Amino acid sequence: APHFDTNMAGYLSASAYGKIKVRVMKLNRHPDGTHEPREMTVNTLLWGDFAESWTTGSNAKIVATETQKNTIYQLAKTHTLSSPEEFGMYVCEHILKTYDHITKVKVSVWEDPWGRIHMDGKPHKHAFTKTTSERRTAEITQSRGSAPHVVGGITNLIVLKTTQSSFEKFIGHPGSYMPKDPSGWTTLGEAEDRSFSTAVESTWVYATPNAPFNDCYAKVKNAFIEKFAGPPDTGVPSPSAQQTGYQMTLAALEACAPHILDISIATPNLHYMPLHSQSVPGHMHAPNADVFFPIDGPSGYITSTASRRSKL
């Protein structure tokens, strides 16, 4: 068991600082007149030999957070922001090369995608719209003398299936591990068919810092959607949100092999409650079960991780 000396005075055991919410857009202008905007939000976090800033108030070794903000904009001048992962590594490399007392850097990046406008099936050269709710993410951590550790991700990928989702034989119902809930507090009834919606959150660990990041992101996203929805004419049953989420991660691992080591997913429920679940008289129910009311919470939250690493 850990030893605690209750008589020991407190001391600084960890410290780091950085800049958050640095928004940047790079407009890449191609020779054929086509424009490509890339918009990102960047956070930086630094570790190093600057403990005296906490213990004595000295700023002698502090790289101002305003300087860190300026660094993002100046580096964007010589980078296309081709992917959050590549730009994050570019920032890490610069900071470690420039400041010899910095020992570790973490750069977190969120990309807000711009979708090119199409008119009569023809892509517009320089007009765009925000067409999606999801954000692509990346987190790059690099210690001095080591290769960058790169994590890709996606957040707020909102999906919905309006049938083929069920929730049956859980604790408090026949066929479960405990047909009678000892607490007596299970009030939820079984559902043979219901809608299923979630805002997918996922992160994955790249095997190397040289992975095809854009290709992997597209493959992971497509694998998630295909496993969630199933074939367009027949769909796919979802007996539990847990199984669906796990199948999504396995499909993503396979789609981006061998570049991903681990992938984690969280699927918070977005509930659309049938009208009859409201406390209203029966004559106010929807007889065809086709009217629902969305709720923000409380909601379920399911997570899992699939790995390619050895279990040993």
Helix, strand, coil tally for the chain in percent (to 5) = 20, 35, 40
**Structure-token match 């290709």, residue found:** 215
- The enclosing H or E element of 225 equals helix 213-229
Give the torsion through C-alpha atoms of 50, 54, 56, 61, to 10 deg.
20
Three-state SS at 216:
helix
- Sole residue written with tokens 């054929």: 32
Instruction: Please write down the HEC assignment for all residues of 74-115.
Output: HHHCCCCCCCHHHHHHHHHHHHHHHCCCEEEEEEEEEEECCE
**Type and span of the H or E element at 147:** none
Could you confirm whether 271 is annotated as catalytic? yes
Residue 19 appears among annotated catalytic residues:
yes
Distance, in Å, from the CA atom of 288 to the CA atom of 302, rounded to the nearest integer, reads: 30
d(CA 256, CA 219): 6
Residue 31: CB atoms within 10 A of its CB come to: 5
Catalytic site residue 227?
no
Could you say which DSSP state residue 256 is in? T
**Beta carbons of 299 and 244 less than 8 angstroms apart:** no
In 3D, which of 218, 215, 213, 116 has the Cα closest to residue 157?
Answer: 218
**Which contiguous run of DSSP H or E holds residue 255?**
helix 241-255
Q: What number of residues does the chain have?
A: 312
User: Six-digit token pair at 287?
Assistant: 């007889």
Residue among 106, 219, 259, 271 flagged as catalytic: 271
Taking a C-beta distance cutoff of 8 angstroms, is the pair 283, 226 a contact? no
Identified catalytic residue from 19, 161, 219, 227: 19
Question: Of 61, 65, 94, 186, which is the active-site residue?
Answer: 65
Active site residues: 19, 65, 271
